[in-house]
Structures are given as structure tokens and as C-alpha cells.
Amino acid sequence: MTSTQSVPKNLSDTSYDPHENRTTGTINNFQAFLHLVKCSFGIGVLAFPYGFKHAGMIAGMVLGISVSVFCVYCFHVLFHTMNKIAAELRVPYVTVPDAMIHSMTHTHAWCAPMVKLTRPFIGTIIFICYFGICTAYINYLTVMSLTISEKYKSSAEGPVNLVRSITSIIWVIPLFMVNCLRDLKTLAPASLIGNVTTLIAMCMVLGAILDPTEPFSDTWESYGELSTAPLFIGTILFAVESFGVIVAVERDVIQPKRFLGWFGVFNISMSIVVAWYLFVGIAGYWKFGADTKATIVHTITRPAWLGTTVQIIMGVAIFCSYPLQCFVAIEVMWTNYLSLKVTKNNTLWEYVFRFVFTLCTGLVSLLVPRLDLIVSLVGAFCLSLLGFVIPGLLDYNVVSGRHGWKRPFILVRDIIIMLLGLVAFAIGVYSPLYNLVEETTKNTTRSVYFDYYYG
């Protein structure tokens, strides 16, 4: 049974519980907890101290807590509505695209023309999201390769230069090779190496932040500049809104009823994740103050061997994680769309697509050389739509289509969620684009990118 089957608009089936009939779960609550917490390690947490530099210490704490809580609440709205649709269809589970299609089919007439665009739209947003993540990964690897060498450190500049271009293209080759691993089973060893090396790097970062021999800085600000504070919104969304992972974990958990709730696996996991991000962000900014750089690993310069070691270890982790992020993007674009149009030599064309994908992430990383701008753009552009607008629109369609305005408080709530999502989208996208244009048009003899990381 598909999500587009005809169901009476006023149907409210309480006799069928999708959670009780979901028998395809493969992970227990503890495994679900580990998957969600594991999302807190990576590029997002590395950029959080610099995010606090954008927003300021007090404003950063307020933004960090409020945006994170709002993200978690919107996931509850999303899962509750998806479960409601599954109950109406008497199926154990519906995907996000299927739920959106069903809600738009059985609501206001003006939504009908948009039904055919729903699945491609959601797929495109998810693809762009993971393409952006992969771009951030290549950006880090390129900058890491240049900054660990005094000779080439200044070549990691804003405007495209020959040294950085060659370095980025060189990284495309090994990344394409590891990207040729086509299924999750063969990717498992890379995932394990990535997790272990990330944990080691994070422990070293914490050691550097909490080092008692190095005093905390007194150059931090309580409030950042209004022009840069919105960049932190995108950073928060990038870090906390692991949309694909969270939805997949909820789908595969054996006890979905215990996943949600005040003290469910999801709330406990996300509380730890948010606390971890805030701790690293606050402690990192407090430790280094005005000297905080794009990522915390680039900020650690004393002792020199520690900063270099952390950068390299984190580079290994990101290299191993790159094919995992590509897996989602390739699944969305190649498996669901392009492969259906290929009639012969399917495997060959898949490898061609994987190479083009890897090459494009390398080229885009040259055009947007600042890691914090990539993180903010991806977070604001993709995750504000996936995490805010779609849950609000989905619930609005379901409630208004079945009850009209008999439940005004719920509908007003959904409208507010969508509006806040659009505001986050507009502000979050404008700010990094403005900063990018402003930086690339500067006519200065000093390296903008060198100042950014080391000035």
C-alpha cells in the first residue's frame, strides 16, 4: 500500500498502531543512542567555537540552546505526523516524501499541482545537503595539507590560486578511490577507522582546551556583530540537524515507542549532543577568545606538534567519513533517478557519476574556501527547509485537511514553525553569501584566508 492511496479526509483511525506493527527494526535503544550521539563528532563541532566568536558568548548560548530545542521539537512534530499518516494508511511506516505526498493529496485543492514535485524537491534538498557536507570535507583536507607546512601555509587563500587548486585536485583522486566502495558493508571498516580517529582527535582537542598551563583568554565578547551573528544559526543547524541519520534511526529502532517521549532515546541523545556542542563551543571560545579560528583544530598552535597532530588525525577521520556522506547523496541522485535512465553499462556509468561527484565537490570547495561559510550555507539552505518547513507544512496539511480550523492552536503553531524556518533560511543564506562576496571583492595585498586562519 502506498502513501497516495485514497483515504477519507476525516478518518481518524485509532485502532491501528504503526509502532506495534513495525517488525522491521534492526537496532535496539542503546544502538540508537550511540548512532545519534556519534553525529556530534565531526566538522560541525569543530566550527562551534568560531560560531561563538560570530555570535558572542551570551548571544551564542541563547542562540545555541533555543535553536537546538526548536530543532528537537520540530522532529517530534515530524515523527508524530508521520505516525498519524501511517495509522490512516494502516502501514507500519511511511517515508518523509510519501508522507508529504499523502498529506498534499488529501488537503486543500491548491496543493494538488505540487504533488508531483514533492519527491524530487525533497530528494534535491537532501542531495544538496550531503553534497555540501562533502565539499566541507574536501575544504578541510585541502587547508589541512597546506597549513601543516610553513612553506605553503599562505597559499590557503581566499581567491583561487594554483597551489590550492592543485592540492584540491590531488585530493580528488584518493577520495574517488575510496568513494568506489559501493555498499555499507564494505564501508564498515572505513567507518570504524573514522570513528576511532575522530574520538582520538576530540580527546586531544579537549586536552588542549583544558590545559592548565595555558590560561583562558580575556578577549572574548559577550555579543558579536549583528552582521556575523546569523552565521551561527547555520552552524547550529549543520551540527544538530543530522536529518538523514535521525530519520533513519527512528525508522530502524526496534522499540519506536521508547524512541520519543520526554525521557525517550531521542531526547536523551539530543540533550547530550547539544550539551557537548555547547561545551566545546563555550570552552573553545573562552580559551582562545579573539584568536579563535575557523575550526578548533586550526586554533591549537601551542605546542606546534599538538596542533599539527590533531589536524592530521582529524584529516584521517574526515577522509574515512567522506564515502559515507557520498553514499547518501549517490543513493538519492543515482539510485533513485539517473540509474533508471541508463540502459546498459550501468556499473561503468555509476563510477563515472561517482568521479564527477567527487570532482565537483573539490571544485566547489575552491569557490567557497572558508569552512564556516560552507557549514553555514548548508545548514541554512538545506536543514532549515528539511528540519523546520517540511515538518510544519506536513502537520499543517494533515490537521487542516481533516479538521479545518477546528484546531486553531495547532495550525498557528505549524504556521509559526514554517515562518521561522523561512526566516532562518533567508537570514542564514544571506549572511554567508554576503560575507563571501565581500571577502572575494576585497582588493588587499594581504591574504584574506591567511588572516582568517592565522591573523
Buried b (16+ CB within 10 A) or exposed e, 288-325: bbeebbbbbbbbbeeeeebbbbbbbbbbbbbbbbbbbb
pTM listed for this prediction: 0.82
Tell whether the model's pLDDT for residue 65 goes beyond 50.
yes
pLDDT confidence tier of residue 15, bands split at 50, 70 and 90: confident
Q: How confident is the model at residue 159 (pLDDT cuts 50, 70, 90)?
A: low
**pLDDT at site 390:** 92
* pLDDT exceeds cutoff 90 at 244: no
Q: If we measure between CA atoms, which residue out of 231, 296, 223, 286 comes closest to residue 439?
A: 231
Contact 19, 256 (CB under 8 A): yes
Residue 372 CA neighbour count, 13 Å, CB half: 29
Helix (H) or strand (E) holding 166: helix 162-179
13-27, 187-201, 360-374, 433-447: least confidently modelled range: 433-447
Mean pLDDT, residues 104-126: 83
Q: Which of 329, 373, 118 is nearest to 228 (CA)?
A: 373
Tell me which of 443 and 363 has the higher pLDDT. 363
Percentage of residues in the chain with pLDDT exceeding 70?
91
Whole-angstrom distance, CA of residue 14 vs CA of residue 172: 53
Domains delineated in the chain? 24-454 (1.20.1740.10)
* pLDDT at position 115: 84
Would you place residue 346 in the very low, low, confident or very high pLDDT band (cuts 50, 70, 90)? confident
Distance of CA 200 to the CA centre of its chain: 22
User: What is the rounded average pLDDT of the residues 21-28?
Assistant: 78
Reported confidence tier of residue 442, pLDDT bands at 50, 70, 90? low
* 296-332 tens-digit pLDDT: 887 887 777 887 888 899 889 889 888 888 888 888 8
Could you report the per-residue pLDDT of 162-212, keeping only the tens digit for each? 888 898 999 999 999 988 887 767 777 887 888 888 888 888 888 888 888
With contact defined as beta carbons under 8 Å apart, do 292 and 49 qualify?
A: yes
The pLDDT score that the predictor gives to residue 440 is 64
Mean pLDDT of 266-286: 91
